[in-house]
Amino acid sequence: MATNIDQTDSYRTSMLAKAETLTEALPYLQRYAGKTFVVKYGGHAMGDPEAAHDFAEDIVLLKAVGINPVVVHGGGPQIGAMLKKLGVESSFVDGLRVTDAATAEVAEMVLSGKINKELVGWIAGAGGKAIGISGKDAGLVTATKVERTTKDPGSNIERAVDLGFVGEPTEIDPTIIHTVSAAGIIPVIAPIGVGRDGHTYNINADTMAGAIAAKLGASRLFLLTDVPGVLDKNKRLLTDLTPEDIAGLTADGTISGGMIPKLETCVHAVEAGCEAAVVLDGRVPHAMLLEIFTARGAGTLIHR
> What residues form the annotated binding site for substrate?
75-76, 97, 202
Cα distance between residue 211 and residue 207, in whole Å = 6
User: What are the φ and ψ backbone dihedral angles of 230, each rounded to 5 degrees?
Assistant: -90, 125
Sheet with 130-134, side-by-side order of all strands: 130-134, 186-190, 68-73, 36-41, 220-225, 276-281, 300-303, 240-241
Which amino acids are annotated as binding site, given as ranges? 75-76, 97, 202
Q: How far is CA 141 from the centre of its chain?
A: 16
Gap between the Cα atoms of 193 and 116, Å rounded: 15
Compute the CA torsion angle 111, 117, 120, 126 (nearest 10 deg): -120
- Cα atoms in the Cβ-side hemisphere of radius 13 Å centred on 41: 33
Question: Element (H or E) spanning 10, and its range?
Answer: helix 2-32
Going by C-alpha positions, the residue among 91, 97, 56 that lies closest to residue 205 is 97
Distance, in Å, from the CA atom of 96 to the CA atom of 98, rounded to the nearest integer, reads 6
CA-closest candidate to residue 186, choices 67, 69, 33: 69
Gap between the Cα atoms of 241 and 244, Å rounded: 8
Residues 46 and 75: beta-carbon distance below 8 Å: yes
What letter would DSSP give residue 15? H
| CA atoms of 41 and 290, how far apart (whole Å) | 16
Nearest one of 235, 232, 231, 264 to 247, comparing CA atoms? 264
Q: Strand 186-190 relative to strand 130-134: parallel, antiparallel, unpaired?
A: parallel
